[in-house]
Structure formats: structure tokens, C-alpha cells
Amino acid sequence: MPDLGKYADAVLSSYAASLVLLSLLVAITLYQGRKARRALEAVERKGNDRG
């Protein structure tokens, strides 16, 4: 790891914040994908029941 000197706290906290936000984005995306898949399956089941 390079020597960051007096900026080490700022740089490391920025990396940590970036990782947290990136993880949050991935989690939200996966959650919304599962929710959309369930909704689509429900619509498809409803359509199959009619036909």
C-alpha cells in the first residue's frame, strides 16, 4: 500500500464509503430484480389461467 501521509484518513474513508455504496447498489439491484421477476411470474400465471 502506498504511503498516503496526512491524507490517509480521507483516502481510506473515501474507499470505505465507495465500497459501502457499491454494495448497497448491488443489493438494491438484486432485490428489485427478484421483485420484478415475481411480479412477472404472477402476471404470466394470471394470463395462463384465462387462456
For residue 2, pLDDT beyond 90: no
Q: Does 23 fall in a domain?
A: yes
Q: Does 4 fall in a domain?
A: no
Residues near 4 by beta carbon (within 8 Å), at least 6 away in sequence = 11, 12
Domain of residue 13, residue span: 9-50
Could you read off the pLDDT of 24-50 as tens digits, one per residue?
999 999 999 999 999 999 999 988 887
The per-residue pLDDT for 51 is 61
Q: Does 38 fall in a domain?
A: yes
Residue 51 to residue 46: CA distance in whole angstroms = 9
Q: Does 2 fall in a domain?
A: no
The total number of structural domains in the chain stands at 1
Q: Does 25 fall in a domain?
A: yes
